[in-house]
Structure 1
């Protein structure tokens, strides 16, 4: 799974609009939409902000873990 699918799934699981999520890292809805559909590469600082926003690990967001939280936390 690519991270853009994961950020879409997280947004939908939390019943959030693209605009609501885009407001957190202060990007436009159009920019966020391009990240979410994989048409634009997301900068690392936004990747970190989204992990914080959803309270998930970066590894989960990147698709490197199946579980949202690190089992060592």
Structure 2
């Protein structure tokens, strides 16, 4: 599973909207939606923020391990 699917699944499992996650990241909802679709690559600063938001490791988010 790649990070695109993981960030979408984590958001949906947490009952967060794209708008809320975009606000946490300090970006627009449109740009965050592009990350979830894979149209834009996720910047490292956003990767770190998502790890903190969902309390998971970067290895998990990137699909390198199945252990959160």
Give the TM-score range, shorter chain. over 0.9
TM-score when scaled to structure 2? 0.96
The CA distance in 1 between the partners of 2:63 and 2:15, in whole Å, is 21
- Asked which structure has the greater RCO (Cα within 8 Å, sep 6+), the reply is 2
Aligned residues: 68
TM-score when scaled to structure 1? 0.89
Alignment root-mean-square deviation, CA: 0.6
User: Which runs of at least 4 in structure 1 moved beyond 4 Å after TM superposition?
Assistant: none
Q: Hey, which of these two has a bigger chunk of helix by percent?
A: 2
Q: Which has the larger radius of gyration?
A: 1
Q: Which runs of 5+ in 1 are unaligned?
A: 69-73
